[in-house]
């Protein structure tokens, strides 16, 4: 599974990219607004840091304005992925953009039928929002299971399932079990994947035992000589 981070905070993105575990970035108008910066500058900086797909969302909702905004965003960098809404105009734009070689992320997916339409429109990614479905009493992971199953039935579908609105590590693990291709995570959730109390306890024990030896690896010389 690929890990994207869902943020427009370039400081967070740089820190997470340094781990070598980050495959891409997703942004949206709300996240860019929180940054307080010019959108084009933010996306350009992110694309410089992360070589993988960087989703930049259009603000327009009708076909012609969507295409004009997409043209501006595509000029930023080759790894920009145009993010469009799952609407008739959004899917029309998806078809046109993907046919022209652009990566397209179709967002705000809440049904398997919508996901099938996005695949037919040539979407690079489909973004089902599991957390928001959970919020209204549905089981978000059931949607992921349905989309993955449908896509697997057709060899010609190349659209990747990008699990969005992820709230916890459990969402990530459940999505991975189902075979989703990508999870996009808020920075705090991505960082929480590293954490387990037994890992911390074990490391503390090892370090305490090592400290008792009084040794420092960088200062040691082997009695058998160095190679």
Distance (Å, whole) CA 134 – CA 187? 20
Residues 6+ apart with CB under 8 A from 19: none
Give the relative orientation of helices 39-49 and 10-17 as an angle to the nearest 10 degrees.
Answer: 10
- Report domain extents, the chain: 2-195
Mean pLDDT of 150-171: 98
Give the relative orientation of helices 169-178 and 140-152 as an angle to the nearest 10 degrees.
Answer: 20
Q: Please determine, for residue 156, whether its predicted confidence score (pLDDT) is greater than 70.
A: yes
| Catalytic site includes residue 83 | yes
Residues 6+ apart with CB under 8 A from 134: 140, 167
* Catalytic residue selected from 2, 34, 83, 212: 83
Could you confirm whether domain 2-195 is CATH 3.20.20.70?
yes
pLDDT on residue 221: 87
pLDDT on residue 225: 59
For 50-61, write each residue's pLDDT tens digit: 999 999 999 999
For 82-105, write each residue's pLDDT tens digit: 999 999 999 999 999 999 999 999
Please give the model's pTM, rounded to 2 decimal places.
0.93
Mean pLDDT of 198-210: 95
Q: Please determine, for residue 227, whether its predicted confidence score (pLDDT) is greater than 60.
A: no
pLDDT on residue 226: 55
pLDDT on residue 161: 98
């Amino acid at each position: 599974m690929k890990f994207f981070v869902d943020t427009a905070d370039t400081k967070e993105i740089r820190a997470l990219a340094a781990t070598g575990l980050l495959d891409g970035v997703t942004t949206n108008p709300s996240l860019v607004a929180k940054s307080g910066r010019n959108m084009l500058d933010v996306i350009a900086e992110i694309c410089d840091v992360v070589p993988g797909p960087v989703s930049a969302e259009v603000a327009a909702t009708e076909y012609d304005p969507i295409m004009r905004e997409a043209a501006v965003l595509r000029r930023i960098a080759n790894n920009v992925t145009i993010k469009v809404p799952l609407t008739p105009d959004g899917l029309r734009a998806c078809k046109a953009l993907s046919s022209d070689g652009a990566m397209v992320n179709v967002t705000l997916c809440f049904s398997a039928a919508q996901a099938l339409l996005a695949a037919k429109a040539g979407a690079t990614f489909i973004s089902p929002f599991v957390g928001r479905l959970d919020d209204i009493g549905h089981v978000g992971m059931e949607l992921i299971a349905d989309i993955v199953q449908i896509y697997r039935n057709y060899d010609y579908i190349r659209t990747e399932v990008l699990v969005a609105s992820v709230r916890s590590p459990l969402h990530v693990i459940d999505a991975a079990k189902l075979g989703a291709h990508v999870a996009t995570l808020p920075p705090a959730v991505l960082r929480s994947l590293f954490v387990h109390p037994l890992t911390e306890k074990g490391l503390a024990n090892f370090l305490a035992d090592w400290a008792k030896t009084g040794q420092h690896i960088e200062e040691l010389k082997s009695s058998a000589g160095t190679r």
